[in-house]
Amino acid sequence: MLPKWFDDWSEKNPIDIYRPAILLGTVGGVVFVVALLVTWGQPLATESLQTGPRGTGMSVPEFKADLAKPDPSIIDYYTEAAYDPADSGELARDVYENVQVLGDVTEDNFNRLMNAMTQWVSPDEGCAYCHAGADEGNYADDDLYTKVVSRRMIQMTQGINENWDAHVNANKEVGVNCYTCHRGQNVPSDIWFRISPVNENVEGWAANQNRATMVSQSTSLPSDALEQYLLNYEQIAVHDLDSRVDTQPGDPTIQNTERTYSLMNYFSNSLGVNCVFCHNSRAFYDGAQNTPQWATASLGIVMVQELNNDYLVPLRDVYPPERLGPIFSDAPKAACATCHKGYQQPLQGQNMIADWPELATTGTPEY
C-alpha cells in the first residue's frame, strides 16, 4: 500500500525499528499520564500545615484526598436548633422532679436536649437506658447507675466548655458535647484502664514494657504512660543536653524517656499528626521554639488530668463490675483519642456547642 520508492528505500536502508518504537511509546505514555493528571487532578497531592519556620521541615503533610474525606461519625450526628427561651416554657427545675443539673434550661429546650442525648449515647435503648421508669412516665428516680453517671458527665461537659476554652476553642468555636466521645455508643471508644505491670515473669522496670499492648500503641514501649502522665500528674521532663550524665536520685532516667516516647506516640496516633505538629525537632528541649499547637496540647494534658481525677475515677463505685477494668477493676478513663479519634480536631472541627449552649455553661445558657 506504500509507494514503491518507499519500499525500495527501506530495503536499501534497513534500521532498528524497535528502539524508536519504544521511545515513542514511552513519550506517548508520559503525555497520556500528564493529560490525565491535568484533567482529573493529582490523586496523591498533599497539603501541608506549616507549624514552624520554612526550611526547617516543620510541617504536617496530609493527602488532600484524606482531608476531603469526612469523619464517618459526622453523618450520624444529631443536632437541632434551640427554642427561643421566651417562648419555650418554664424552667426545667420548676416542671420536673430531681433536676440537679440543667435546671436553668427551659422545658422545651430541656426535652430537646434529653432527646439529643438519647440519640448521642443510647439510640437503641432510648430513654430507658437512664430512666428505669420511663415506660411509666417516671423520670425522677436515680435507680439506674447510668443516670447518675450521665448527670456527672453533663457537669464534666459543661466544665470542659466553660473552663478549658483555650483548648477546645483554640482556633474557633468547637467545644464538646456528649457525641464528641460517645458517637452513638453507650461506652465511648478509646477509653483506657490500668494494665501495668504487663510482664509477670520479671521484676522492676522490665515489668512495664516489652509487651505490645493497646495502651502502648502496639509497641514494646512502657504501658503505663497514660497512667503516669494523664492520671498521676507526672511531669514530662527528660531532656538533657549533656551525654552520659551521672544521674542522681530524682533525676530524669532512661525509663522516663521511654515512657515519654510511649506517650508522644499515643499523641501522634490520637491526632493523626507527627512530632513537628507541636515541636521543633532540632530542639525538643526548648519551649521557646515549640509551635502554638504545643501550648494547646499542654493545656489538653492538664485538662485530661482533671477529667480523670475529678470526674471519672470518683465514679468507680457507681459502675457495675462489667464496666470496670479487667485487671484492677478501675473506672474507665479518658485520653486524647477518646475525643479526637485520629483527627486534629474532634469531628474535624464541627461546632458542637452552636446549637447546644446548655452544655457550654453551668449557668443560664445564652442562645
pLDDT tens for 302-311 read 999 999 999 9
Q: How many CA atoms are closer than 13 Å to the CA of 86, on its beta-carbon side?
A: 0
Burial class (CB in 10 A: 0-12, 13-18, 19+), 311: buried
**Number of domains within the chain:** 2
Amino acid present at 313? V
pLDDT at 20 (0 to 100): 66
Mean pLDDT lowest among 54-63, 132-141, 288-297, 353-362:
54-63
C-alpha cell at 218: 502496639
Q: Within this chain, do residues 210 and 291 fall inside the same structural domain, yes or no? A: yes
* pLDDT above 80 (res 114): yes
Q: Within this chain, do residues 217 and 234 fall inside the same structural domain, yes or no? A: yes
Averaged pLDDT for residues 339-361: 93
SS3 331: coil
Domain that residue 306 falls in? 166-239+249-351
pLDDT at 353 (0 to 100): 93
Per the CB < 8 A criterion, the answer to whether 162 and 360 are in contact is: yes
Cell 518507499 belongs to which residue?
6
pLDDT classification of 96: cutoffs 50, 70, 90: very high
Closest C-alpha among 52, 49, 33, 51 to residue 41: 33
* pLDDT above 80 (res 2): no
Mean pLDDT lowest among 157-166, 192-201, 214-223, 237-246:
237-246
| Residue 349 DSSP class | G
Averaged pLDDT for residues 266-284: 90
Q: Within this chain, do residues 328 and 360 fall inside the same structural domain, yes or no? A: no
Q: Within this chain, do residues 304 and 364 fall inside the same structural domain, yes or no? A: no
Evaluate whether residue 229 is within a structural domain. Answer: yes
Evaluate whether residue 335 is within a structural domain. Answer: yes
Evaluate whether residue 20 is within a structural domain. Answer: no
Please give the residue that has the higher pLDDT: either 233 or 7. Answer: 233
Q: Within this chain, do residues 89 and 102 fall inside the same structural domain, yes or no? A: yes
Evaluate whether residue 84 is within a structural domain. Answer: yes
Cis previous bond, 197, omega within 30 = yes
Evaluate whether residue 289 is within a structural domain. Answer: yes
Q: Within this chain, do residues 172 and 184 fall inside the same structural domain, yes or no? A: yes
Q: Within this chain, do residues 189 and 337 fall inside the same structural domain, yes or no? A: yes
Whole-angstrom distance, CA of residue 323 vs CA of residue 330: 9
CATH code of residue 322: 1.10.468.10
Q: Within this chain, do residues 160 and 171 fall inside the same structural domain, yes or no? A: no
Evaluate whether residue 35 is within a structural domain. Answer: no
Please give the residue that has the higher pLDDT: either 291 or 180. Answer: 180
* pLDDT above 90 (res 316): yes
pLDDT classification of 211: cutoffs 50, 70, 90: confident
C-alpha cell at 205: 522496670
pTM value is 0.84
* pLDDT above 70 (res 196): yes
User: Which pLDDT tens digit goes with each residue over 277-299?
Assistant: 999 888 888 888 888 899 999 99
* pLDDT above 90 (res 14): no
C-alpha cell at 258: 521511654
SS3 62: strand
Q: Within this chain, do residues 178 and 161 fall inside the same structural domain, yes or no? A: no
pLDDT at 35 (0 to 100): 83
High-pLDDT (> 90) share of the chain, %: 56
Whole-angstrom distance, CA of residue 129 vs CA of residue 135: 11
Whole-angstrom distance, CA of residue 163 vs CA of residue 168: 10
| 59-63 and 46-50 beta bridge pairing | antiparallel
* pLDDT above 90 (res 94): yes
pLDDT at 74 (0 to 100): 92
Averaged pLDDT for residues 133-138: 89
Q: Within this chain, do residues 209 and 300 fall inside the same structural domain, yes or no? A: yes
Q: Within this chain, do residues 185 and 228 fall inside the same structural domain, yes or no? A: yes
Mean pLDDT value across the chain:
89
pLDDT at 340 (0 to 100): 96
Evaluate whether residue 88 is within a structural domain. Answer: yes
* pLDDT above 80 (res 7): no
pLDDT at 220 (0 to 100): 87
Question: Would the CA dihedral through 327, 329, 335, 339 be positive or negative?
Answer: positive
Evaluate whether residue 59 is within a structural domain. Answer: no
Mean pLDDT lowest among 277-291, 328-342, 346-360:
277-291
Q: Within this chain, do residues 144 and 226 fall inside the same structural domain, yes or no? A: no
User: Which pLDDT tens digit goes with each residue over 51-64?
Assistant: 877 777 777 777 77
